Amino acid sequence: MTGRTGAGRAVPGVGAVEGGLRADCARCFGLCCVAPAFAASADFAHDKPAGQPCRNLRTDFGCGIHPELRERGFAGCTVFDCFGAGQRVAQQTFGGRDWRNAPEHAGQMFDVFAVMRSLHELLWYLTEALRLRPPADLAAQVSAALAETDTLASGSPQDLLTLDVDGHRAKLNVLLSRTAELARTRGGGAGADHRGAVLVGRDLRRVDLRRANLRGATLIGADLRGVDLTRADLTGADLRGADLRGADLSDALFLHQAQVDAARGDRQTRLPVRLGRPAHWSALPLTPRRTRRR
Q: In whole angstroms, what separates CA 225 from the centre of its chain?
A: 22
At how many degrees (to 10) do helices 106-131 and 136-153 cross? 170
Q: How far apart are CA 237 and CA 220, in angstroms?
A: 9
Q: Between β-strands 2-4 and 10-12, what pairing exists: parallel, antiparallel or unpaired?
A: antiparallel
Note the pTM of the prediction, 2 decimals: 0.88
The amino acid sitting at 3 is G
pLDDT tens for the 294 residues of the chain, in order: 334 333 344 454 454 466 689 999 999 999 999 999 999 998 899 999 999 999 999 999 999 999 899 899 998 898 899 999 999 999 999 999 999 999 999 999 999 999 999 999 999 999 999 999 999 999 999 999 999 999 999 999 999 999 999 999 999 999 999 999 999 998 888 899 999 999 999 999 999 999 999 999 999 999 999 999 999 999 999 999 999 999 999 999 999 999 999 999 999 999 999 999 998 897 655 555 443 333
CB 122 within 8 A of CB 142: no
Q: How far apart are CA 233 and CA 246, in angstroms?
A: 19
